């Protein structure tokens, strides 16, 4: 199997193209700076993952920026900090400030020359529009949790994408699902018969950070530690 066998790359965005963990830690500073104790980065991210995942199950139709506001409230309660609802809403709006990984923009512009590029993300449309300006590439399709009314790893997100992507002339076997999260993406991608590429951004860190532990590690067909490594491997395939 070669990277050049595929016609479309379907991307998770946050954690893969956008450095959401750095964005979260930065966005949570108004809260964590109030605490009487210093929390490690991993402690913050794991608590965030726990509350985010639980809220996504409870309110699958809630827009992500509003869901983040609830997560902020739950974290403040857990950490015994007093916050206002305006504080919570401000965190929900912080997605626009989350940075891209340093290799994302160049990689996407290269890959755009060879593939259809598609987003399948646990995000709302307004928040993704801000991230898209950061990434600076025209995606061929954007499928969000807001569109679907559910959050990955729900089957609904992948079924929605597989149905809609046919309109681009792309069949299931021509898709390479490209993502960091084993929990949100690679598990359900495998369930739905998709080939997958793991961008293992956390390869030099322990644990799962802002995503939940997937339990059993799902099968991935390719693994790279960055988008830059994916681009180099594609260039080697093209060179033959």
Residues involved in catalysis: 12
CA dist 25 and 16 (Å) reads 16
Q: Among the residues of the chain, which ranges form H helices?
A: 20-27, 29-32, 41-58, 64-78, 85-92, 104-111, 125-135, 145-148, 155-164, 187-191, 227-239
In the chain, how long is the greatest CA-to-CA distance?
Answer: 60
Residues 6+ apart with CB under 8 A from 37: none
Q: Pull the structure tokens for residue 55.
A: 């809220």
CA dist 118 and 154 (Å) reads 18
User: Are the C-beta atoms of 61 and 157 separated by less than 8 Å?
Assistant: no
Nearest Cα to 25, choosing from 41, 13, 38? 41
CA dist 14 and 209 (Å) reads 12
């Amino acid at each position: 199997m070669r990277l050049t066998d595929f016609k479309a790359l379907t991307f998770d965005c946050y954690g893969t193209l956008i450095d959401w963990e750095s964005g979260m830690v930065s966005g949570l500073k108004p809260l964590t700076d109030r605490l009487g104790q210093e929390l490690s980065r991993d402690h913050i991210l794991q608590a965030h993952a726990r509350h985010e995942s639980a809220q996504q199950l409870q309110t699958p139709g809630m827009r992500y920026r509003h869901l983040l506001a609830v997560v902020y409230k739950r974290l403040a309660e857990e950490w015994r900090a007093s916050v206002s609802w305006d504080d919570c809403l401000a965190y929900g709006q912080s997605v626009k400030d989350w940075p891209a990984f340093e290799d994302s923009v160049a990689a996407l512009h290269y890959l755009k020359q060879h593939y259809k590029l598609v987003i399948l993300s646990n995000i709302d449309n307004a928040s993704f529009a801000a991230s898209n300006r950061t990434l600076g590439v025209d995606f061929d399709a954007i499928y969000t949790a807001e569109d679907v009314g559910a959050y990955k790893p729900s089957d609904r997100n992948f079924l929605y994408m597989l149905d809609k992507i046919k309109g681009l002339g792309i069949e299931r076997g021509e898709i390479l699902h490209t993502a960091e999260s084993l929990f949100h993406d690679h598990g359900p991608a495998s369930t739905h018969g998709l080939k997958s590429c793991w961008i293992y951004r956390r390869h030099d860190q322990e644990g799962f950070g802002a995503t939940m532990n997937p339990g059993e590690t799902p099968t991935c067909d390719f693994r790279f530690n960055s988008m830059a490594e994916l681009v180099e491997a594609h260039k080697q395939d093209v060179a033959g």
